[in-house]
Amino acid sequence: EETTKDKDEL
Amino acid sequence: MNIFRLTGDLSHLAAIIILLLKIWKSRSCAGISGKSQILFALVFTTRYLDLFTSFISLYNTCMKLIYIGCAYATVYLIYAKFRATYDGNHDSFRVEFLVVPVGGLSVLINHDFSPLEILWTFSIYLESVAILPQLFMISKTGEAETITTHYLFCLGLYRALYLFNWIWRFYFEGFFDMIAIVAGVVQTVLYCDFFYLYVTKVLKGKKLSLPA
């Protein structure tokens, strides 16, 4: 399963 | 947001501020690699372009702005205000050997072939190796000021804490981002040798100096 990046992480 | 993520961010912030204050208070950037600092400014610039496209939280926006602002302030202090103290002769790492392969890799391996996404990927890959000019400089001169080692420790600790954050998120949220994780592991591993010296020398009150 491809998970996309988390935009919250810095 | 978990405790590892938060302490990771704060550790990162501490590193950035330690470096800025060190340069400002001593009016000198001796022993600091300007090249690493330019790379970090490039990392933040390419990663935080989403400031223009999406709002996530006040915390997120503020931290991004602080990181970017401090990164450019540091570059300004090194290359303009205190340029006379910049040790360019020892800062001789060839950054094109990092930027070019990292650029190629980010085009080849990314989550989505779009400009913003490729730039984000570029920033993740570049960050993992951006400290190399600084470590190279220390290995060349054979020593580092204690305050510089505190900076490096906080900077290395930040990505190590992010690794724990990702382990946490994998178990409790089922979330993982392979690009960030692999780059994060590489980044943390690069600091291991330094961590060892930090614990065995600096924390025991000795100056960090390498055997000739």
Mapping DSSP onto H, E and C, the string for chain B reads CCHHHHHHHHHHHHHHHHHHHHHHHHCCCCCCCHHHHHHHHHHHHHHHHHHCCCCCCHHHHHHHHHHHHHHHHHHHHHHHHCHHHCCCCCCCCCCHHHHHHHHHHHHHCCCCCCHHHHHHHHHHHHHHHCCHHHHHHHHHHCEECHHHHHHHHHHHHHHHHHHHHHHHHHHHHCCCCHHHHHHHHHHHHHHHHHHHHHHHCHHHCCCEECCC
Picking from B212, B183, B211, B184, the residue whose alpha carbon sits closest to that of residue B197 is B211
Percent of chain B with pLDDT over 90: 98
Q: Flag if A4 and B56 touch (Cβ within 8 Å).
A: no
Interface test with B, best of A3, A4, A7 (most B CBs within 10 A): A3
Q: Which amino acid is at B123?
A: S
Contact B60/A at CB under 8 A: yes
- pLDDT for position A3: 52
- Looking at residues B5-20, what average pLDDT do you find? 98
Q: Compute the mean pLDDT over every residue in chain A, rounded to the nearest whole number.
A: 71
Does residue B163 surpass a pLDDT of 70? yes
Q: For the segment B60-108, what is each residue's pLDDT rounded down to a tens digit?
A: 999 999 999 999 999 999 999 999 999 999 999 999 999 999 999 999 9
Query: Which residues of chain A have a CB within 8 Å of the CB of B12?
Result: 10
Distance between CA A8 and CA B3 in Å, rounded?
Answer: 15
Chain A residue with minimum CA distance to B4: A9
Whether A1 shows a pLDDT value over 70: the answer reads no
- Residue B157 has a pLDDT of 98
**Residue B142 and residue B39: Cα distance in Å, rounded?**
22
pLDDT at residue B51 greater than cutoff 50: yes
pLDDT in tens, B113-151: 999 999 999 999 999 999 999 999 999 999 999 999 999
Mean pLDDT across chain B, nearest whole number?
96
Say yes or no: B89 contacts chain A, CB-CB below 8 A.
no
Residue written as tokens 């302030």?
B73
Instruction: Give the type of residue at B50.
Output: D
ipTM: 0.81
